[in-house]
A and B are shown apart, each in its own frame.
Chain A
Amino acid sequence: MTATLVIFWGFAALAVGAALLCITRKNPVASALWLVVTLFSIAALFVVLDAQFIAVLQLLVYAGAIMVLFLFVIMLLNLGRGGPSDLKGPAGLAVGVLLAGLMLVQLLGLRQASAAPGLAAGAMARAAAEQGMVPPIARPLFSVYLVPFEITSILLLAALVGAVVLAKRKL
């Protein structure tokens, strides 16, 4: 249990630190790479929280596909070289930090309202040990959640067509 806690807090600290660096770096490429570190750490947290399949998905989809798309666009637009900082001025900075701090206080307050205890501790890990990692997610996904799943495929098709149309030379 202590080893789990050490791993959890280590990756949590890494995620928060990398996110902090991500929002403060001047260079968009550096921001993107620090965001990749954050996404990797969150994937590690998923593993600690008994969601191994989601962790692999996080690495493939977020750290793999989406961040490559971001870096590709940054380099296509030639934004990689350091210009003047795009951080807002002192007034904007103060208001932004104040609002984000307010948000943090509210979210931490919400944490006090504890969730109703549904499953026994370690039930997810036991289900994974009995049936494997994927079946406990795949079965409901293709039965109870079949209609949302199909709608997602239509959404992805629409996004595909939309991205091609928007990125064409003549809008």
Chain B
Amino acid sequence: MLLGPSLAVSAVLFALGVAGVLLRRNAIVIFMCVELMLNAVNLTFVALAQQLGVAGQIFVFFVMAVAAAEAAVGLAIMLAIYRHRQTVNLQDINLLKG
């Protein structure tokens, strides 16, 4: 069965997403890496659904809905930040630093 290989691929993709969040400064690229992590988790759900029933696939459906909502709101926040600071580089966004 493909369960073990699927979980391995999913782990690699999740780790790559974590690496992207930690290594980049561009807020939009970091956001894309978060999407990558969500997809890695979706792959885990679908792989386990083969053995544990269709509930895993239904959870993927909900993850996708939450990801869509998150993308819409997050990108709107980024637009608002860009309008105030003219940048989406996280190093230049230090409003809360005393």
For chain B, the bracket of interface size reads 35 or more
User: What 1/0 flags go to B74-96 for Cβ under 8 Å of A?
Assistant: 01111110110000110000000
Task: Tell whether, in the assembled complex, residue A119 and residue B51 are in contact, meaning their CB atoms are under 8 Å apart.
Answer: yes
| Interface positions of B from 41 to 63, Cβ below 8 Å from A | 42-43, 46-55, 57-58, 60-62
Task: Tell whether, in the assembled complex, residue B15 and residue A31 are in contact, meaning their CB atoms are under 8 Å apart.
Answer: no
Partner of A97, one of B5, B23, B39: B23
Task: Select from chain B the residue with minimum beta-carbon distance to A93.
Answer: B23
Shortest A169–chain B CB gap in Å is 8
Task: Select from chain B the residue with minimum beta-carbon distance to A171.
Answer: B80
User: Main SS of the interface on chain A?
Assistant: helix
Residues of A within 8 A of B50 (CB): 49-50, 119, 123-124
Partner of A107, one of B11, B31, B62: B11
Partner of A88, one of B1, B23, B57: B23
Q: Is A76 an interface residue (CB 8 A)?
A: yes
Shortest B17–chain A CB gap in Å is 7
Interface centre among A50, A58, A77, A93 (most CB of B within 10 A): A77
A-binding residues in B (CB < 8 A)? 1-20, 22-26, 28-29, 31-33, 35-36, 39, 42-43, 46-55, 57-58, 60-62, 64-73, 75-80, 82-83, 88-89
